[in-house]
């Protein structure tokens, strides 16, 4: 998911909307904005893209100098309007709204406790668990309540809370999910990625620290540490696939990281090819790095139609059989008679790779050598990146040679985890400041709910 929040600007609502547009790649299933004018809160949310949710004057109904917004990618909970965010809640002391990016590993466990204590849940999202923990914290001060709640949850989380007089932002103690702080004139902004700051003309101040809570009021900004300092475990998959290439995440520019990964791929996993093609859009940077290091020409051999949204009606099987290809085309005049080195950022289920290998061969490629700028994705993410269940992950049950065969490639190689880490220039010998659990099965937290499932079964 993506979150954006701003405090202290006349155009808070419009800027939130534009900030969220820049974060649309982080979630296309639902969107929403909550604002405040200091005494009332205004809210609108719905299913679909921002342009679907705010299309007939809804934005103009939201007023105020502060706002938070959300674009949703369902990780926990199904894609229903009840699960759209921000989620509003009230306590005896106040109203507040929450917008959350991430996934808790103990949400089910906490929810069972909360229900036993009488909480009623309206949604299936773990965000509501956080909201109830805050509402039930038993203290009047909102920041104190948020800190108490933040210390009961475990997992990957970066969330924003808006009340009538304050905006609170925090990031989980391991720094699994990203969050940045920026400034636009006198207004402070918090967002999942720095590209949203650029979009609204704000400047990046810094990344929010793992375990840090930021509170913004009319008196300015204060920073508190809500959890003890732990080893940083930023999600590498943000760099590999999820984040936008123009964003800087924890000090690393995403495009530059991807390009370095492409170079490493060329150096350590070379292929005999004539041209290099990246799968658009997320592999374009890695393909550029691969081409530069291998001195092979980078070609636009695959063209993606930008206007196919996820909700677009797919052609029927009968139409597909006639060759209707909406999303991706291979360019015959570029690939015909060529040995293609195909660069992709990841293989999750394996269906995309096989389709593209077939497309390239259909357009006349003589060989297709697939190179992946990350290691085999062997285990599901529990921290907010919704890839697939374990039994859908092709690398969870197949060797690299079996995957090569299944995707019908002439050869297939991946980066190793060590090579992936070499794409980030942190000091050798330092503890690895990243989560790589989907590549290594070594999760940086306990998986509380998973234990619970096993107990129930």
Q: For binding to ligand 5GP (CB under 6 A), which residues are involved?
A: 241, 279, 282, 344-353, 385-387
> Which among ligand SF4, Mg ion, ligand 5GP, none contacts residue 135 (Cβ within 5 to 8 A by kind)?
none
Pairing mode of beta strands 155-163, 180-184? unpaired
Among 33, 296, 385, 417, the residue binding ligand SF4 under the rule CB under 6 A is 385
- Residue 348, binding choice from Mg ion, ligand SF4, ligand 5GP, none, Cβ under 5 to 8 Å by partner class: ligand 5GP
Our finding on whether 383 is near ligand SF4 (CB under 6 A) is yes
10 Å CB burial of residue 202 (0-12, 13-18, 19+) is: buried
- Given the rule CB under 6 A, which of 44-52, 73-81, 353-361, 430-438 is the region that contacts ligand SF4? 430-438
> Residue 231 and residue 393: Cα distance in Å, rounded?
28
210 binds ligand SF4 (CB under 6 A): no
Instruction: Please answer whether residues 124 and 83 qualify as being in contact, where contact means their C-beta atoms are separated by less than 8 angstroms.
Output: yes
Binding track, positions 158-197, relative to ligand SF4; x by CB under 6 A: ------------------x---------------------
Distance CA 240, CA 282 (A): 8
Among 27, 48, 156, 262, binds ligand SF4 (CB under 6 A): 156
> What is the CA angle 279-329-245, rounded to 5?
30
Among all residues, whose Cβ is closest to Mg ion?
Answer: 282
Matching residue, tokens 């209707």: 324
Binding positions for Mg ion, rule: CB under 5 A:
279, 282
Q: Cα–Cα distance between 363 and 205 in angstroms, integer?
A: 48
Q: Please select the residue that binds ligand SF4; options are 30, 196, 381, 420, rule is CB under 6 A.
A: 381
Task: Give 125 or 381: the residue with its C-beta nearer to ligand SF4.
Answer: 381
User: Is the Cβ of residue 246 or residue 386 nearer to ligand 5GP in the bound state?
Assistant: 386
302 binds ligand SF4 (CB under 6 A): no
Q: Which residue from 179, 212, 91 is spatially nearest to 142, judged by alpha carbons?
A: 91
- Active-site hit among 1, 195, 235, 381: 1
Helices (H) and strands (E) in the chain, counts: 18, 23
Q: How near is the Cβ of 22 to ligand SF4 at its closest, in Å? A: 21
CA distances in angstroms from 12 to 50, 67, 95, 312, listed in the order given: 16, 6, 19, 31
**Range 226-245, binding ligand SF4 (CB under 6 A):** 235-237
DSSP letter (8 states) at residue 311? T
Annotated active-site residue 1? The verdict is: yes
CA dihedral in degrees (106, 100, 121, 381; nearest 10)?
Answer: -40
Specify the residue, 127 or 353, whose C-beta has the smaller distance to Mg ion. 353
- Smallest separation, CB 71 to ligand SF4 (Å): 18
Beta carbon of residue 107, minimum distance to Mg ion (angstroms, whole number): 29
* Euclidean distance between CA atoms 113 and 90, whole angstroms: 20
Least distance CB 240 / ligand SF4 (angstroms): 8
- Residue positions annotated with a catalytic role: 1
């Amino acid at each position: 998911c993506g979150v954006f929040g701003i405090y202290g600007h006349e155009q808070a609502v419009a800027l939130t909307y534009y900030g969220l547009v820049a974060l649309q790649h982080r979630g296309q299933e639902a969107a929403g904005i909550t604002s405040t004018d200091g005494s009332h809160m205004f809210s609108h949310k719905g299913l679909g893209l921002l342009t679907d949710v705010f299309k007939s004057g809804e934005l103009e109904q939201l007023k105020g100098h502060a706002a938070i917004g959300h674009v949703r990618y369902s990780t926990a909970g199904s894609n229903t309007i009840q699960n759209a965010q921000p989620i509003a809640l009230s306590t005896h002391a106040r109203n507040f709204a929450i917008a959350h990016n991430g996934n808790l590993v103990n949400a089910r466990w906490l929810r069972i406790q909360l229900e036993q204590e009488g909480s009623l849940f309206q949604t299936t999202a773990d965000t509501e668990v956080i909201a109830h923990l805050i509402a039930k914290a038993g203290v009047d001060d909102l920041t104190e309540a948020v800190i108490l709640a933040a210390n009961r949850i475990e997992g990957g989380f970066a969330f924003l809370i808006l009340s009538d007089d304050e905006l609170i932002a925090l990031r989980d103690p391991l720094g699994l999910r990203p969050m940045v702080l920026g400034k636009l004139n006198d207004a402070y902004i918090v967002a999942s990625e720095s590209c949203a700051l650029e979009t609204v003309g704000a400047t990046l101040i810094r990344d929010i620290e793992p375990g840090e809570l930021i509170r913004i009021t009319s008196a300015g900004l204060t920073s508190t540490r809500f959890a003890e300092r732990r080893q940083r475990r930023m999600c590498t998959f943000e760099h590999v696939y999820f984040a936008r290439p123009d964003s800087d995440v924890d000090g690393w520019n995403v495009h530059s990281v991807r390009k370095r990964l492409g170079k490493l791929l060329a150096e350590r996993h070379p292929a005999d090819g004539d041209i290099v093609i990246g799968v658009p859009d997320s592999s374009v940077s890695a393909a550029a790095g691969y081409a530069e290091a291998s001195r092979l020409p980078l070609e636009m051999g695959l063209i993606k139609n930008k206007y196919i949204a996820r909700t677009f009606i797919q052609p029927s099987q009968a139409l597909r059989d006639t060759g209707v290809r909406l999303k991706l085309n291979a360019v015959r005049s570029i690939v015909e008679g060529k040995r293609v080195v195909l660069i992709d950022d990841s293989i999750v289920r394996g269906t995309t790779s096989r389709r593209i290998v077939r497309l390239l061969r259909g357009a006349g490629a003589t060989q297709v050598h697939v190179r992946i700028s990350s290691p085999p994705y062997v285990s599901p993410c529990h921290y907010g990146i919704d890839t697939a269940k374990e039994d859908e992950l092709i690398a969870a049950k197949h060797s690299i040679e079996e995957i090569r065969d299944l995707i019908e490639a002439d050869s297939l190689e991946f980066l190793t985890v060590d090579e992936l880490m070499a794409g980030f220039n942190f000091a050798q010998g330092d503890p690895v400041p990243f989560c790589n659990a989907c590549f290594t099965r070594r999760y940086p937290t306990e998986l509380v709910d998973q234990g619970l499932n096993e107990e129930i079964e």
